[in-house]
Amino acid sequence: MNAEQLIADLHGRWVFGWERHAGDAPFDFRRTFGDLYDFGSPDVRLYDDFDPDQRVATTAAGYGSIWEPGFRAMVSAHHAVDDGPHVIAGHDLAASTLTFVARITLPDGATDIRTTTSLVWRRTPDGWRIVREHNSTKVLPAGTLDDTLPGAGRNSVSRQA
């Protein structure tokens, strides 16, 4: 498999790593993404504007600490790839961009989102690992994804991020 296809597959795995279903074990970032992020790199930069505090994490563990509380509180998170992944790959670095939609359901209701994600991957002795991440998210009108995400459920209460 060539590097572009491998990175495309990894980016797809990344999207669905965030998937949550009612009754899942508590979300554990390192258990879920330990083979995708570079947990040992001193130059990691990870950002997602869906984080209310809009923090930039400088370690993979730090990024996990941003997301674990929220994902543990979720009832479910359902995703679908809307566009991509689009990949360019060199010998030691690769970049991928992908757009996904998701319905994030909390006990008090659901939020539909569209996110464009860009990841930079570095080839390590253990394989390709994420060293840069930038996600831009738009909250969609309530019910936008009713027909897009099978099993995500209708009649959700929308909330703003």
Q: In the structure encoding, which two tokens stand for residue 87, read together?
A: 């990949």
Positive or negative torsion for Cα 57, 80, 109, 30: negative
For the chain, which residues make up each domain, given as ranges?
Answer: 3-139
Which of the following CATH numbers is that of domain 3-139: 3.90.1150.10, 3.40.220.10, 3.20.20.80, 3.10.450.50?
Answer: 3.10.450.50
- What is residue 1's predicted lDDT score, i.e. its pLDDT? 80
Backbone angles phi, psi at 38, to 5 degrees: -90, 100
pLDDT digit string (tens) for the chain, length 161 residues: 899 999 999 999 999 999 999 999 999 999 999 999 999 999 999 999 999 999 999 999 999 999 999 999 999 999 999 999 999 999 999 999 999 999 999 999 999 999 999 999 999 999 999 999 999 999 999 889 998 886 555 433 333 33
Q: Give residue 150's pLDDT.
A: 62
Q: Which two tokens stand for residue 78?
A: 């359902």
| Measured CA distances, 158 to 70, 99, 107 (Å) | 17, 21, 11
- Show the beta-strand stretches assigned E in 3-75: 45-48, 56-57
Backbone angles phi, psi at 128, to 5 degrees: -75, 135
The span from the CA of 61 to the CA of 77, in Å, is 21
Residues 36, 102: Cα–Cα separation, whole Å: 20
pTM of the predicted protein model:
0.90
CA distance 106 to 102: 13
Reading the block at residue 16, the tokens are 């669905």
Polymer length in residues for the chain: 161
The alpha carbon torsion through 13, 15, 20, 26 (nearest 10 deg) reads 70
- Compute the distance between CA of residue 110 and CA of residue 69 in angstroms, rounded to an integer: 17
Report the pLDDT value the prediction gives residue 20, as an integer from 0 to 100: 95
pLDDT at res. 156: 36
